[in-house]
């Protein structure tokens, strides 16, 4: 079977992004968004999601990081949807519970085609370095909308904002890896309706 790959480009007055994704990769990641903490999170996502990811992005960071974070999420979501195609044969559901020292993140996904994001996370500090942690929710909601994904993120406890964020992206990678895996027993779209939309 051929690998499920996609390339997406996006150019606006605020950002310029080129992104390549291989859902059937080995966790190789080369990203340069200009936002160090976002690069760090994408590296965790790709590694634990066993996907190859390449991102080149430049944005109006002199304004703030918001546009870059949001537009990278748009491109990643669109690439994921494109690589999934008709979604025939995928396992569809995935979940992972990942500890990171003091923090625990529980993430569940459904490749339903219907976007919805539930995000129950409290950060003890609102910044990690210069990065506003509220942008992580923005990233995940935007990613969800562009994939057509039902995403639930729950962090029951954690005392370090960096650890919380890292646990979320590791868990998301593992959950996505399970959901996009192909089930050799399933040849059709995994829905009683016959479509995922």
d(CA 50, CA 169): 13
Pairing label, strands 29-32, 52-59: parallel
Domain boundaries, the chain: 5-180
Regarding pTM above 0.85, the answer is: yes
Residues 8 and 25: beta-carbon distance below 8 Å: no
Report the C-alpha gap between 96 and 102 in whole angstroms: 17
What pLDDT, on the 0 to 100 scale, is given for residue 184?
83
Structure confidence at residue 52 (pLDDT):
98
Q: Which of 68, 79, 71, 73 is nearest to 20 (CA)?
A: 79
* Average pLDDT across the chain, whole number: 95
Q: Is it the case that residue 191 has pLDDT exceeding 70?
A: no
Per CATH, domain 5-180 is 3.30.230.40: yes
pLDDT digits (tens, 9 = 90+) for 84-129: 998 989 999 999 999 999 999 999 999 999 999 999 999 999 999 9
How many CA atoms, within 13 angstroms, populate the side-chain half-sphere of residue 111?
29
Q: Which pLDDT does position 195 carry in this prediction?
A: 64
């Amino acid at each position: 079977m051929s690998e499920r790959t996609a390339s997406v480009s996006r150019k606006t007055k605020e950002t310029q992004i080129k992104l390549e994704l291989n859902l059937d990769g080995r966790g190789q990641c080369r990203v340069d968004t200009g936002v160090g903490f976002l690069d760090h999170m994408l590296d965790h996502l790709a590694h634990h999601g066993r996907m190859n990811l390449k991102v080149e992005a430049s944005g109006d960071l002199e304004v703030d990081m918001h546009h870059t974070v949001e537009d990278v999420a748009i491109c990643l979501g669109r690439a994921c949807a494109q690589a999934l195609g008709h979604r025939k044969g995928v396992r569809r559901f995935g979940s992972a519970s990942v500890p990171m020292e003091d923090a625990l993140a529980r993430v569940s996904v459904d490749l339903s085609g219907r976007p919805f994001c539930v995000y129950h996370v409290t950060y003890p500090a609102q910044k990690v370095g210069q990065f506003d942690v509220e942008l992580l929710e923005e990233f995940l909601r935007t990613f969800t909308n562009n994939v057509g994904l039902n995403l639930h993120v729950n962090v029951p406890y954690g005392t370090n904002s960096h650890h919380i964020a890292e646990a979320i992206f590791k868990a998301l990678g593992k959950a996505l890896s399970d959901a996009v895996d192909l089930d050799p027993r399933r040849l059709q779209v995994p829905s009683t309706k016959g479509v995922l939309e």
